[in-house]
Every structure is written in C-alpha cells, then in structure tokens.
Chain A
Amino acid sequence: MTKIGLEIHCQLTNLESKLFCSCKANYRQFDINENICPVCMGLPGSLPRLNQDAVKKATMIAMALNCSTPEKIAFFRKNYFYPDLPKNFQITQLNIYGDTSVGGSGSIMVGDKKIRITRIQLEEDPGRLIYEGNSSKNQITLVDYNRAGTPLVEIVTEPDFENPKQVREFLNILSDLLENLGVSDPSLEGAMRADANVSIEGGKKVEIKNIGSFHDLEKAVHFEITRQESLHSREIEISQETRHWDDKRKITISSRSKEEALDYRYFLEGDIPWVTINPEILQKLKLEMPESISSKKERYVSKYKIPNQVADVLSSDKFYSDLFEDSHTEANAKEIANIITTDLMGLVDTREKREASKITPKHLGDLADAIQNGKISRNSAKNALHEIVKTGKELSQIITDLDLGNVSDESELLVIIKDVISEEPQAVEQAKSNPQTINYLVGKVMQKTKGKADPKLTLDVLKKQIEQ
C-alpha cells in the first residue's frame, strides 16, 4: 500500500508582525533587507519578544484540526549553520521532552478518510537566499532577511494518505480552513511550502523536500509514486533517501551528497518563558474563533434551505461566505446564495479579479431583493452584476443606465402580448387545451422585451387574453 505523509509549513501571513519583533509579517511589500531590525537580524544583545497573537492563531489552527493543546508551551533552539539563519539557530518547538508545542495529536476527515495530525508547531521562517551568476565559478549567494522571523506554523501528518487525490483534497480543505480562520492567505507566493514522504508497498521511505506550493506538492507526490512504481516493476530497489523537488522541471531529484546527519543540539530557549494556555484561555479563543466551515454549511442548509452542494461551495470559500454573511436576510438568503454560486464566482475567479472587484454586500442584497420583487429578471440581474463588479455603482443607477428594469406596466405589456397572440394563432389554440404551451408564448413575450417582461405578470395577462 502506498503511504504518504506531509509536513506543511504555513506562514501566518495575516499577522501584523513577525514572531519575535515588530517588523512586518507581510514582508512582500518591502525592498530587499528593508524589513529588518536588531532582533530579527540576531544582532549581539538582541532578545526575542514573543508575538502573543501568533501563539493565539497557531493554537486556533491546532483546535481547528482537533489537536490536543498542552497547558504550557515552550520554545526550543534548533542549532545549525546556514546563511539564511541570522542567529545560526532557529527558534522552534519540540515534543521530545513532553508535549510542549502548540498542538499535539489530532485528526481531520478528508471525505471518508481520517487523516491523523502528528503535531503542530510554531517557529520562525529563515531569510531567503538569492543566487546570482551563471557559472559555478562566479556564482554568489545573496541573502534577503526580510522574511527572517516570519511566523510559521508547521503541520505534520501521519503517513495516512494513499494517493495524490487524497493529498489534494486535504490541501484544499486545509487551505480553506486556514483562510476561514483568517490566519493566512494561502494564495500568496511562498506562504505554503511542504515536505512529503512517500513509500510504496515493499519500498523504503523517500523524503521530498523543498516543495514551494500546494499545487506542486500534489504533482511531486504523483511524480514520486510513478517513479517508485517504475523502479519496482523493473525490480530495482527503492532506497531510503532525500530528494528535492525541482519546480522548473517538475521532477524529484536525489540530493547529491547524502544528507549529513545533522545534530541540532535542541535545548530550551531560555529567552522565552513558558506560555500558559489554560482551559480559560482556550475557552476564550474558542469564542474568538470564526465559525468553522462545516458548521457554516450546516447552518446554510438547515436555516435557509440552501441546497447541499451550493452550501458546500459557499461555506468553504471565505471571500464568498463573508459576502453572504454580510448581505443576506432571512428572506433573500437563498437568492443571494444562488447569485454568488451561479454568477459571481464566474466573474471573480482569480485573486486579481477579486481584489479589483467593486462589489459590496449591499449590492448583493439589493440585487436579490430586486429579483424577488420582480423589478429585474434573472437574466438582467446577471448583466447588472457584471456592471456592479466592474464599476461599483448603485443597482438602481445601473438599472436606469442600462435600461434593465422589468416591463411591469400592464398596459405596456398588453400591447406586446396582443402582438404575440395575433402572430401565433396556432399556439394560442393549443394553449387553450394544453396549458404547457402557454410557456412557449411567455417565451415569445420575453423575446420581444429582451427578457425584461415581469414573468409573473406576463403569465397572468396572457392567460386572461387567451381565455377571452
């Protein structure tokens, strides 16, 4: 049986500051080495100041993944030399001397499959290396420390995945969960990174390091399984090794030199006292936590009678569910859910489009109300939505500007209906005996009004005219 385990590194991108200083967690907006200070540069005499908000958010992730949460958490030093590491040690967490990381064992359902979480730990991200020069002779390494100290949550799973599809489903669920918690924006470049370990039946465990995105993670796992199966079929032994993901060629490559067995000399970070997270604090955090995706979905279905599939889509995406939450009333909830999932999602399907979009919750409420009151047809509503996203104008303004309002004046409608009756004598006759045919006539009226006729009124007037 194929076994896949993951180690996911997720930056807490939505925090204000880094893990141990007040430099920005959002380092992407800075020029090289502009988002640094004595603390994150590890200057002599500097001390880490623990960002309590990071502890809170990491604990929320642990709770959301049903992990155990110890009453006291501690930080450890992981000692090794690397140019991207300003102190030449990383402040991280460790569970070998008892459970002291933000999250202990937990689990999450991926479809029918239970994926066990081994642990969750909070740690600092190192800086970023930039290589310059083309030949190995004149290659130089530059270091950008803007990222150094960014809060990172490591989520380690048991090797419970059996195929890349489960991995993908898990990553989707995890992305949605992190986004819903408001702790991270998984779409930011480098915000999600991962290592994976893969073994197939009868083979040894292979680690894949350095996978820069969730998208590539699934690919890497897929590639690795195929590679191992191909070796296996040719009866070549699969050796235990570490491989790196080459994100240009989309393949895994054996790490040339055997990964040196590094001794990290872990020991307690004395500069950060133990942090108490007692039941009262947990209770408070629970109240602060946003409603979970599954609970939202359940509420949408039971309270508003929104169809299961629609509720699923709506609840799992924070952008849409926030819009829904802020716009709906008891009466128009179902209509709004419909507008979002059938029309809006197609209009703002990328990050850029979302950011450029001018739509507000009020727009959605107005639009749904207009449809329900017969002021605008569904068809016209779609056009109006397009205009809203583009311009942000008030709905009433858009209806006037684009002449999208329904023809709901009875006398005006009567003229058109009389035209249709005289043009379609055969259908009118049939309609008298077969009520289904009347829909054909309604369609004709719609055609003539370019979809703007109030459908209910049209039907009423048509029926009256035919019976006469």
Chain B
Amino acid sequence: MNLKISALDYVQEVQNGNISAEDFIASTLERIRSVDEKLHAFLNVNEDALNQAREIDKKIKSGQKVGACFGMPISIKDNMCIKNSKTTCASKMLENFVAPYDATVISKLKAKDAIFIGKVNMDEFAMGLTTEFSAYGPSKNPWNLDYTPGGSSGGSAVSVSAFECVASLGSDTGGSVRNPASFCSVVGLKPTYGLISRFGLISYANSIEQIGPVTRTVKDNAFLLNMIAGLDSNDNTTVDNKNEDYLSGIDSGIEGKKIGIIKEMIADGTDPAVLSATKEAISKLENLGATCEEVSLDMVKYSVAAYYTITATEAGSNLARYDNLRYGYDFSLEGYEFNSYIQKARKNFGPEVTRRMIIGGFVPSAGHAGKYFLKALKVKNKLTKEINEAFKKYDLLLSPTVPVLPFKLGEKIDDPVALFLVDINTVTANLTGKPAISVPFAISNGLPIGIQFLADSMNENMLLQAAYALEKTVKLPEVPI
C-alpha cells in the first residue's frame, strides 16, 4: 500500500476501486505503530478506525452516497473536541477531559466521511513553537530526529510529513500551523480570521487564532479548506465565504501579480540558507510573470512584543476556567477553602503556560495596562493599517516562513526570548487577521525551508494559487523516515 499519495489521489484511488478504505487505514495504523515510537506525533490513536473504514467500504460497495473524504485518515491536533474522546491540549490539566461534543470542523469532516486517525501532539495549550512544552513529551522532526518539528501544531506536521495520515488539522495563533509546516516540509495554512469556525477549538488567544489544514500538497490544502470553511452559528466571529471553491481555479498562475517582499522579515539574523532560498523563490516567481519588490512594514519590529502581550492577556482569561471544579483531573477538593483550592488545583499547568499566565495577569492589570496591553493593541491597529495599505499596492506579500532553520531539541527551550524571535515572520498574519500559507521550498543540509505568502482578507483563492504556482517549481526529496 502506497501511503505517500496525496489526499486527492487517495479519493481518486478509492473511488476507482483500486484501494479500499479498510486497507489504507490498516496500513496507516501499521505505519503509526512502526514510526511513531520515534516521532511521537500521536497522543492517542483511534482504536475504532478500522471499523469505521469497513463501514465506509460497505457504503461504497452498496452504492450509497459517500462523503468526499472516502475514509481518508486525518489527524487532529489535541486542542479540538471530538465527541466522547479525550481532548487534553497536551496538558496534565485536561488529562481526563472527555469532550461531550464535536468541534464544528469535526462535524463537518465527519459528514464528509473522514476518519480521525488520532489526536496529535502540541505544545501545552498551543503555547510554544517546538512541542517541547507538551506535558507528554516532544515530537521529533522526521527529517532529523534530533531536531524539533516546530510547533505548536508539531504533531500535525510530523504526522503528515511522515505519512502517518493524509492530512491534519492544526491551529495557528502566531504561526503554530505555518512554523511546523515549514520545519517539516509540508503545506500549512492560516486562513483569514473567521473563515473557519473555532467552535470546539480550545481557546488560547481567541481574538487572533484560527484552525488551519496541514497537508502534503497545496491542492490538498484547498480540498480540505473547501470542507471546513464558512459561516457557523456556533461561532459569532465566522464570516460568510459564500461557499467559495478554493480548488477549482487553483491553477490560475500568478502572471501579472504584484508581490511585496517584506523587508523586516528578511532582516539581520535571517539564516543565510533561508535568505538564499527566499531569493531563489523570488526569481522563480518572477519567471512565472510576477513582479516582486521590497516593501516595508515598520510595525513588524514591534509585532512579537505586541503578540506576546495580547496572547498572554487572553490566555490568562481563557485558561482561568481550568479550576478543576467541573472537569479536569483527579483531585479532591474537599477540605479546601476556595482560594487555596484554586492555587493548588492550577499547579497542574506546565512551566510555559504558567509563565504566560503570570504575564497575562500583569500586562492588562490596572496601572500597567497603559504601558503594555493597550500599547500592544495600538501596535496591532497600526500594523493592520500598514498591511492594508500594502495590499492596496500588492496582491500578495512574501517572506520566509521562519527566518531560521529548524534547530535541535533542547537548543532554545531555556531561552524564551530566542524562541520568541522565531515568531517574527508569522505573527503578523494573526495580529492583522490576514490569511497566510507556508509552502515547502528547499532543503538545506537535510533541513526544510518554507516560503510564506500573505494575502488580503478572504483572498484565500489567490493565496493558494500563488502557493500552488511556487510548489510546481520545486522537486523536493522525500522525508528520510
């Protein structure tokens, strides 16, 4: 069984009767058994997947209507609720939390006959960019097991990259889909804020985060986006995309498009290999008929500081509900007075979450908000104005997804400030609500490099078209695992 086929090819093969869902799922489970001990992409594997595949095969054989996924194995970041299954956010705090409902993206994919092959690893509550802050241990980069796969949706990128599933859903608060996609050489999309319902996604910084597909090809990404995007009455922040089809025009090319190269995202500190890959990407795009020129977004300099201030504030509030009174882990509250109980119950948060919650208690507090939180909101507004101006002039913006190459596990975990700077190229899309995608572009000394495109709000179509055009110009080696 060839597990390396794309999602679209999988659909084709099953439809043509060349493979069965059952065989494909069985091989996938076998693959997970054989490689995941090394990779640790999965936090748990769906024991019922084979049965579900058999049901779908039955439907196909009897000529019943089958959903567009035809039993395709999809992994889900463990911060999205699947009814009656554990959703831990890779935290001890939610060790025993069994979701009583499906996230909107889950019910949409269920209706399309996708099979959720398992829940995948992440940094605890999506705070981090290496998966090293998972309470259940880090995932490894399939390109080199000594390296981090990126994060926080590391498990999503690893499982897709290492053929443990066909596609995955991650979530992106400041680059959490695009960063691991870049580090693992897969495609990762952060859509326009509001394009995909967040209902059932456990909030970290709710005003800027989005669910996004992680796939091996750009077309697969558009295919998945078609199924999960759109208005949802359960999420008041969703926007109507009028059932836009992101796949049909994907081969439109980028001839005549104007692309702005964001100066602040290829500044000092950018790895030379990353810089030269970026230049190569630019020249390939120009060969395809696009015009590229540098553009300055001055506020990008302050974007990471603003990002951490805003996310810490929202996290401090979003995670306040984990007091272990209504759900959580085994801990008897008898004999405690409320305040001491709260203190004790919340000890189960890991170090990074604790750090951000402490910051989140401080930066918006009376007497400090003006200096930190409100200032961060100003940066966010100014940055949005700047990028809106840029989109009057350019169709797309471009940068390397991450200014540095993947680094070793343990290399930066003790240096929060160094880690934070890895975010510099990705947080802008979140702070401004714009869609952005990371496309695999090069391998340098066995380590992947991704290129990032940004488009104006609700312009995912052009974003995917550009990504597809660039993807077609490269032939990358296969993952060595």
Shortest distance between the CB of B414 and any CB in chain A (Å): 29
Contact in complex: A265, B236 (CB < 8 Å): no
Shortest distance between the CB of B297 and any CB in chain A (Å): 23
Contact code string A45-63 (vs B, CB < 8 Å = 1, else 0): 1111110000000000000
Chain B residues lying within 8 Å of A50, measured Cβ to Cβ, are 236
Contact in complex: A86, B313 (CB < 8 Å): no
> Could you say which of A45, A83, A86, A272 contacts B99, with CB atoms under 8 Å apart?
A45
Shortest distance between the CB of B199 and any CB in chain A (Å): 5
Contact in complex: A47, B198 (CB < 8 Å): yes
Shortest distance between the CB of A193 and any CB in chain B (Å): 22
Give the segment of A36-44, A99-107, A292-300, A406-414 that binds chain B.
A36-44
A289 at the binding interface (Cβ < 8 Å): no
Interchain residue pairs A-B with the least CB separation, the first 8: A270-B207, A88-B320, A45-B200, A44-B202, A45-B81, A265-B364, A87-B321, A45-B202
A443 at the binding interface (Cβ < 8 Å): no
Contact in complex: B326, A47 (CB < 8 Å): no
B169 at the binding interface (Cβ < 8 Å): no
A263 at the binding interface (Cβ < 8 Å): yes
Chain B residues lying within 8 Å of A87, measured Cβ to Cβ, are 320-321
Chain B interface extent, by class? 35 or more
Contact in complex: A89, B236 (CB < 8 Å): no
Residue of B nearest to A77 (CB): B317
B365 at the binding interface (Cβ < 8 Å): yes
Contact in complex: B235, A47 (CB < 8 Å): yes
Shortest distance between the CB of B6 and any CB in chain A (Å): 30
- A45-B202, A89-B317, A270-B208 known; 8 other A-B pairs, CB under 8 Å? A43-B99, A44-B94, A44-B322, A44-B327, A48-B236, A49-B233, A49-B234, A140-B334
Q: What are 14 contact pairs spanning A and B, CB under 8 A?
A: A38-B100, A38-B101, A44-B94, A44-B321, A45-B101, A45-B200, A46-B199, A47-B234, A83-B325, A83-B338, A265-B317, A265-B366, A265-B369, A271-B235
Contact in complex: A79, B236 (CB < 8 Å): no
B456 at the binding interface (Cβ < 8 Å): no
Chain B residues lying within 8 Å of A88, measured Cβ to Cβ, are 320-321, 323
A307 at the binding interface (Cβ < 8 Å): no
Contact code string B319-355 (vs A, CB < 8 Å = 1, else 0): 0111101110000001000110010000000000000
Contact in complex: A86, B207 (CB < 8 Å): no
Shortest distance between the CB of A146 and any CB in chain B (Å): 14
CA of A47 to CA of B207, assembled, Å: 12
Contact in complex: A271, B320 (CB < 8 Å): no
Residue of B nearest to A145 (CB): B326
B388 at the binding interface (Cβ < 8 Å): no
B217 at the binding interface (Cβ < 8 Å): no
Q: Is the interface of A mostly helix, strand, loop or mixed?
A: loop
A279 at the binding interface (Cβ < 8 Å): no
Contact in complex: B237, A44 (CB < 8 Å): no
Contact in complex: B201, A45 (CB < 8 Å): yes
Shortest distance between the CB of B381 and any CB in chain A (Å): 12
Contact in complex: B236, A81 (CB < 8 Å): no
A273 at the binding interface (Cβ < 8 Å): yes
Shortest distance between the CB of A95 and any CB in chain B (Å): 16
CA of A124 to CA of B89, assembled, Å: 28
Residue of A nearest to B81 (CB): A45
B203 at the binding interface (Cβ < 8 Å): yes
> Could you say which of A82, A263, A271, A273 contacts B366, with CB atoms under 8 Å apart?
A263
A267 at the binding interface (Cβ < 8 Å): yes
Given A38-B100, A49-B233, A271-B237, A86-B365 contact (CB < 8 Å): no
Shortest distance between the CB of A148 and any CB in chain B (Å): 11
A268 at the binding interface (Cβ < 8 Å): yes
Contact in complex: A273, B236 (CB < 8 Å): yes
Contact in complex: A265, B203 (CB < 8 Å): no
Contact code string B229-257 (vs A, CB < 8 Å = 1, else 0): 00001111100000000000000000000
Shortest distance between the CB of A233 and any CB in chain B (Å): 38
Contact in complex: B87, A45 (CB < 8 Å): yes
Residue of A nearest to B94 (CB): A44
Chain B residues lying within 8 Å of A265, measured Cβ to Cβ, are 313, 316-317, 361, 364-366, 369
Given A49-B236, A267-B364, A273-B237, A44-B317 contact (CB < 8 Å): no
B206 at the binding interface (Cβ < 8 Å): yes
Chain B residues lying within 8 Å of A89, measured Cβ to Cβ, are 317, 320
Q: Which of B94, B314, B317 has the most CB of A within 10 A?
A: B317
CA of A267 to CA of B366, assembled, Å: 11
Chain A residues lying within 8 Å of B80, measured Cβ to Cβ, are 45
Shortest distance between the CB of B249 and any CB in chain A (Å): 30
Given A47-B234, A270-B206, A41-B326 contact (CB < 8 Å): yes
Shortest distance between the CB of A433 and any CB in chain B (Å): 86
CA of A88 to CA of B366, assembled, Å: 18
Contact in complex: A263, B365 (CB < 8 Å): yes
Shortest distance between the CB of B285 and any CB in chain A (Å): 35
CA of A143 to CA of B373, assembled, Å: 34
Chain B residues lying within 8 Å of A83, measured Cβ to Cβ, are 323, 325, 338
B97 at the binding interface (Cβ < 8 Å): yes
Chain B residues lying within 8 Å of A266, measured Cβ to Cβ, are 364
CA of A138 to CA of B205, assembled, Å: 40
Chain B residues lying within 8 Å of A268, measured Cβ to Cβ, are 207
Contact in complex: B316, A42 (CB < 8 Å): no
Shortest distance between the CB of A321 and any CB in chain B (Å): 37
Chain A residues lying within 8 Å of B103, measured Cβ to Cβ, are 45
Chain B residues lying within 8 Å of A263, measured Cβ to Cβ, are 365-366
Chain B residues lying within 8 Å of A270, measured Cβ to Cβ, are 206-208, 237, 314
Chain A residues lying within 8 Å of B320, measured Cβ to Cβ, are 79, 81, 87-89
Contact code string B142-167 (vs A, CB < 8 Å = 1, else 0): 00000000000000000000000000
Chain A residues lying within 8 Å of B235, measured Cβ to Cβ, are 47, 49, 271
Shortest distance between the CB of B444 and any CB in chain A (Å): 38
Contact code string B361-404 (vs A, CB < 8 Å = 1, else 0): 10011100100010000000000000000000000000000000
Chain B residues lying within 8 Å of A49, measured Cβ to Cβ, are 233-236
Chain B residues lying within 8 Å of A42, measured Cβ to Cβ, are 321, 326
Shortest distance between the CB of B246 and any CB in chain A (Å): 24
Shortest distance between the CB of A55 and any CB in chain B (Å): 12
Q: Which of B200, B207, B320 has the most CB of A within 10 A?
A: B320
Given A49-B233, A86-B321, A44-B313 contact (CB < 8 Å): no
Residue of B nearest to A44 (CB): B202
Q: Which of A48, A49, A87, A267 has the most CB of B within 10 A?
A: A267
Shortest distance between the CB of A408 and any CB in chain B (Å): 65
Chain A residues lying within 8 Å of B203, measured Cβ to Cβ, are 45, 271
Residue of B nearest to A88 (CB): B320
CB proximity to B under 8 Å, residues A328-354: none
Chain A residues lying within 8 Å of B234, measured Cβ to Cβ, are 47, 49
Shortest distance between the CB of B73 and any CB in chain A (Å): 23
